[in-house]
Structures are given as C-alpha cells and as structure tokens.
C-alpha cells in the first residue's frame, strides 16, 4: 500500500472516530438536559421529604447533584468518551496530513482536498484548545459534525492524487499564504458554531414557538447568548488578523508571480469580500455597539462567504487561482 493510500485510509479512520465522538457529545448533551429537568422536578418536592427520606425523587445525601443547582457536576462518561475519541480522530488526521505531504513531496495544502483536510484539523485543534481553558464540550457535537461533513465531502468530491504542484505554486508563499488562510478558516468554523448556537439560544429564550419544543431542551445546557457572543468575538478577532495577513500575503505573492498586486481575480475579490464582512462585524461590535442577534448574523454571513470562496469560486469561476485539480 502506498503512503498516499494509507493517508486516505487514515482520513476515513479519523472520520469514523469523530462520528463516535459526535454521538457521544450528543448523548452527553441530552443526558445533562434530562438531569436538569429532573433536578427541577426534585426542587418542587416539599421540604418535608428531605434528607433521609425514602422518596426516590430526592437524591441521597452525599451523592453528586446537578451542577446548576449547587451540587458537584456529576460524572459525564459520555463526554469523556467524546473527548478521547476527538483527540484520537485529531491525531489520526494529523498523521494523514503528514503522510499526504510525504507522498506529494511538498506542503500538503495545494488543492481543495488538502485544504479541506487541514482546515478540518485546525477546527478540531481550536476546539480542543478551548477545552483546555474552559468547558466547551457543548460545542463538540456541532464542531465534529461539521468536520465529518467536510472530510466526507473532501474524500468523495475533492480528492485528487498526491502529486507535485504547478510552477506558480512552487514558492515559500504556499506555506505562508495558504497556511495562514487555512488557519483562519478553521478558527472561523468554530466561531460560526458559537454564533449559530447564540442565535438558537436567544430565540429560545425569547419564546420562539418552534425552539421552545421539548426537542430543543438541550439549548438550555449551552451558555447564555452573551457568553457565546463574547467567545465568538474573541475567535473572530484572531481569525480576522490571520485573514488580513492572507490578503496582504496574497497580494505580495501575486506581484512576485504575475507582476501585479491586484487583478480582480475571483479568488482575490472574494477574499477581500470576506475581509470586509469581518472588518464590518468587528467595527460594528466594538464602536457602534452592535451586539446580540445582529452581530451573530454578521458572523453567519461571513462564514457563508468563506464557504463560497472555497467551493463556489474554485468550482464555478475560472481564474489564476484555479488549483482545485478536480476539473
């Protein structure tokens, strides 16, 4: 078996491990929701059936109680399984990326398949690093779900052989420009999940008839909308700095390769559109006081532009950046 084929198998293995993680994250979120509902029912029991009672609705003294009601957080076995398999899937994806680079003899992010693979890896790393600072496991089912989708689409629709690159790409800017763009995309992916959850949680808190159904009770286990917005803002600020370098670096590389800094190439235009959207978001939130749903929708629109820049621009338009290798 060749190294490139082994790399592809590792990507499938990573997707499988992440599928287990996604299911475990969903189970954990559902169980925590049930615990909260049960705790509320227990809190409604009269005080006369307190400690020492045989009433099964009252937890025995000394047992773990639900975190939101003052007791210690109960053991979350499903969450532990989810985090372990997420680390495993991330490690396998890293190994797949390294082997892809060895097989191709270059930096492994020169086409759409490789961009998908590395961008997914960065999103997982951002999620795991967040969990080293705070409990962000509520994001797990959604981040891993997006990554699984990206990997499967990449393997089935964007996959190309691991070969060399065109002369225009045989440059150290491939490492810098494209590498930073992938990093920014991974960051934007996680921030998008936060903003999407913010919109859902805010709508539920506002009494949306659809989102107040029992099937969306898990939203009660996510942080408050203001907390989600703050987390998303910080990530977007980092991603914006990286994307700014992407646009500037791309212009410098374009001058070196094609003799001009800007040529209205579709990829250049849409990269600038992304920069404008996120710049407007940061400006509106920091100086104009935009917050809440308006700010969250800015993030959703920005990420939609990121996805279109990666897919639509590469597949629909012809330009100097047409390096997908699949058409």
> pLDDT digits over 78-135, tens only?
999 999 999 999 999 999 999 999 999 999 998 899 999 999 999 999 999 999 999 9
DSSP assignment of 67-101 equals GGGTSPPPP-HHHHHHHHHHHHHHHHHHHHHHHHH
The span from the CA of 60 to the CA of 54, in Å, is 9
Whole-number pLDDT of residue 174: 80
Torsion sign over Cα 263, 267, 271, 276: positive
- DSSP class of 299: H
Per-residue model confidence (pLDDT) at position 73: 54
Q: Is 29 part of a structural domain of the chain?
A: no
pLDDT number for residue 56? 37
240 in any annotated domain: yes
Dihedral sign computed on CA atoms, order 17, 125, 175, 148: positive
Q: Let me know if residue 120 belongs to a domain.
A: no
224 assigned to some structural domain: yes
Tally of domains within the chain: 1
Enclosing domain of residue 296: 166-322
Non-local CB neighbours of 287 within 8 Å, separated by 6+ positions: none
Tokens matching residue 78: 């499903």
Q: What angle do CA 304, 305, 307 make, to 5 degrees?
A: 65
**Which DSSP letter does residue 158 get?**
I
Q: How much is the pLDDT for 136?
A: 95
Helices (H), 134-292: 140-153, 173, 179-205, 225-258, 266-287
Q: Is residue 277 part of a domain?
A: yes
pLDDT, mean of residues 227-249: 96
Q: pTM for this one?
A: 0.86
Residue 185 lies in a domain: yes
Model pLDDT for residues 275-298, shown as the tens digit of each residue = 999 999 999 998 888 888 999 999
Model confidence over 32-51: pLDDT tens digits?
Answer: 775 555 445 444 444 443 44
Flag whether 192 is in a domain: yes
- Whether residue 19 is contained in a domain is answered as no
Per-residue model confidence as pLDDT tens digits over 142-201: 999 999 999 999 999 999 999 887 776 777 888 888 899 999 999 999 999 999 999 999
């Amino acid at each position: 078996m060749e190294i490139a084929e082994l790399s592809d198998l590792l990507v499938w293995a990573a997707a499988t491990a992440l599928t287990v993680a996604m299911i475990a994250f969903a189970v954990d979120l559902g169980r925590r929701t049930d615990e909260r509902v049960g705790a509320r029912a227990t809190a409604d029991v009269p005080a006369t059936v307190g400690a020492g009672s045989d009433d099964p609705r009252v937890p025995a003294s000394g047992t773990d109680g639900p975190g939101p009601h003052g007791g210690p957080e109960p053991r979350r076995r499903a969450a532990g399984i989810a985090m372990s398999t997420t680390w495993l899937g991330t490690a396998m994806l890293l190994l797949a990326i390294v082997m892809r680079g060895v097989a191709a003899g270059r930096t492994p992010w020169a086409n759409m398949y490789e961009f998908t693979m590395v961008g997914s890896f960065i999103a997982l790393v951002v999620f795991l690093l967040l969990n080293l600072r705070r409990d962000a496991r509520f994001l797990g089912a959604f981040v891993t779900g997006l990554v699984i989708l990206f990997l499967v689409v990449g393997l089935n629709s964007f996959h190309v052989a691991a070969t060399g690159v065109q002369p225009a790409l045989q440059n150290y800017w491939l490492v810098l420009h494209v590498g930073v763009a992938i990093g920014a995309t991974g960051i934007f992916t996680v921030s998008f999940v936060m903003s999407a959850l913010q919109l859902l949680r805010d709508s539920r808190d506002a009494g949306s008839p659809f989102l107040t159904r029992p099937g969306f009770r898990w939203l009660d286990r996510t942080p408050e909308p203001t907390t989600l917005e703050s987390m998303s803002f910080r990530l977007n600020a980092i991603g914006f700095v990286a994307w700014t370098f992407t646009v500037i670096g791309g212009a410098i590389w374009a001058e070196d390769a094609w003799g001009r800094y800007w040529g209205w190439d579709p990829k250049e235009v849409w990269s600038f559109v992304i920069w404008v959207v996120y710049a407007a978001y940061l400006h509106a939130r920091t100086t104009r006081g935009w917050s809440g749903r308006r700010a969250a929708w800015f993030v959703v629109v920005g990420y939609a532009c990121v996805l279109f820049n990666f897919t639509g621009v590469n597949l629909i338009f012809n330009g100097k950046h047409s390096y997908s290798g699949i058409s």
